[in-house]
Amino acid sequence: MKSFFKYVLATIVGIILSGILMFFIFVGSMGAMISSQDKPVKIDEHTVLHMELSSPIADRNNKNPMENFDFESFKPVNQLGLNEILANIKKAKEDENIDGIYLDFTMIPTGMATLEEIRSALIDFKASGKFILSYADTYTQSTFYLASVADKVYLNPEGLISWTGMRSEIMFFKEALEKIGIEAQIIRHGKFKSAVEPFMYKQMSPENREQIMTYMGSIWNHMLTRISESRNIPVEQLNKLADNLTLNSADAALEQGFVDGLKYKDEILAELKELTEKKENEEIKSITLAKYTKVPKKRKSLEKDKIAVVYASGSVIMGEGAEGTIGSDRISRAIREARKDSTIKAIVFRVNSGGGSALASEVIWREVKLAQQVKPVIASLGDVAASGGYYIVAAADKIVANPNTITGSIGVFGMIPNGKELLNDKLGIHVDVAKTNQHADIYSFSRPLSAKERETIQLGVENTYETFITHVAEGRGMTKENVDAIGQGRVWSGANAIEIGLIDEFGGLDKAIEIAAQTANLEKYRVVGLPKLKDPFQQLLEDFQGNVKASILKKELGNEYRYYQRLQDLKNMQGIQARIPYDIELY
């Protein structure tokens, strides 16, 4: 028995020591990866910039090594932020060693406004006279939209272009909740505030269908117009081809003018050799977008005057939050720092959010308002800046968005689940409460709201909506009646929004920075990003456990990870919400 315990203890100690050793090996590997990211890269003349976009594109990469690491292959993953992609394209335009860009993608899991900004940057790149060539085995509608700017668009002879028109799908849960005995108690303001419709109905309300068809039609028409300009195909013909499912083969894509030729990869490489003046026996020199980030820019003098870009992406929540969420404390502090820093002459508030907590939105709005009274504040809207995401930019001097940005959704709601039937009738569970006051258990899951309680919550919703439209009216120079007329929770595209006064100009982040510089009368300046990102090694130690779990889940679930993330967001919903109807995804 004595020897048994000795061996057990030795085994336990061995496991612990092995775990510690593996941890330090892992940290050492990550540290080496982090240090390697800082090493500059040199390129030769006649190099091709290889753009292969297959990962989700955030407004900026947070440099967190845990999120940029594949735990299955145990290798780093090169994920770039939009800011890095745009900077690389601009750098390549002026780089005498870059001959052109090779677009190589099939599906890009990102929003249409992000693609619009990349597309605009590629169009600007073409002004240099350098080539852009695109090739894919298959194209989705969104990747073809991006590829259509290329001088030559090629497709695999057995490939396909998905061309069917745009759709938006919503999943409804009302009947499922009824079957398990849960009632979603809804309090909202705005006939278009359809965030809660999946819990109320089995299909879209007429109002919701109207708003979806309006903004989706606007985005689709914008996309068709731009493709028509690039490929010289009439918009009417593009719609007809989608209705008739004409693009059912690579030959059809060539016949209809979508592509310039049908080629295999080896033929594409041969053409790239010609474009870069390589001999047949010479290798093509290329560099990936991620690696090109490490190629130093031409040195410029370090300007004292600065424009701060405050990045706010994700759900609006109370508290500190982290990169990927809009924590009221963290974002407010960044705006406050920019306001008090005398070397920062203007602020660009970059927002990519469908909203969240109304109270958190109010906290951030206040800091934007204070900053706007001291220096120019220009809002730049990404893929989505709606509901709480629009609330927080309402005080900006100007709002810049793309035609396919999802915005508006000026409305609020509250939802409290009632699980009395589930607990009592389905599970046989009964809850008894001891309370000092009549409504102490107002938010209890075990009973429905009383009429008085529902009336009180409705009053809170109405007061929040009144505050929301007041802020928008003041910020946009409109009457509250006008804001209410275009509000009611209705979602708009950027093309719609400019017509009704919710945004001022079309453009992406670069355009917003340009406007900020003009407004602040700056000729020379440098751009700084806020909130400041943590040192990668510090983030590694702080976020080790949580990000390992998230990274593994992302790898296992793939695109379906977003559904898991939505469930996590539901858990964090507290108080009255200013959110868009649902996670808008256009296909």
Handedness of CA 466, 469, 472, 478 (dihedral sign): negative
* Distant-in-sequence, close-in-space partners of 169: CB < 8 Å, separation ≥ 6: 585, 587
- d(C-alpha 32, C-alpha 6), whole Å: 39
Q: Choose, from 313, 357, 387, 551, the residue flagged as catalytic.
A: 387
Which residues is 183 bridged to in the sheet?
A: 418
Element (DSSP H or E) covering residue 347: strand 344-353
460 close to 364: Cβ distance less than 8 angstroms: no
Residue 408 has, within 13 A of its CA and on its CB side, a CA count of 34
Look at the block and give the residue holding tokens 């990000």: 547
Sign of the alpha-carbon dihedral angle for 503, 507, 513, 517: negative
Contact (CB, 8 A) for 289 and 88: yes
Please list the alpha-helical segments (H only) found in 48-205.
Answer: 82-94, 112-126, 141-147, 174-180
The amino acid that residue 388 corresponds to is G
Can you list the alpha helix ranges (DSSP code H) found in 148-284? Answer: 174-180, 206-231, 235-243, 250-255, 265-275
* Contact present, 283 and 46 (Cβ < 8 Å): no
CB 101 within 8 A of CB 51: yes
Phi, psi of 557 (to 5 degrees): -85, -20
In the block, tokens 């858990």 appear at 571
Scanning 95-233, the segments in alpha helix (DSSP H) are 112-126, 141-147, 174-180, 206-231
Is residue 193 flagged as an active site residue?
yes
For residue 280, give both structure tokens: 């047949």
Q: Of the residues 93, 130, 193, 511, which is catalytic?
A: 193
Q: How far is CA 558 from CA 53, 114, 499, in A?
A: 16, 20, 38
Report, in angstroms and rounded to the nearest whole number, the Rg of the chain calculated over CA atoms. 27
> Is residue 298 annotated as a catalytic residue, yes or no?
no
Return the active site residues.
193, 387
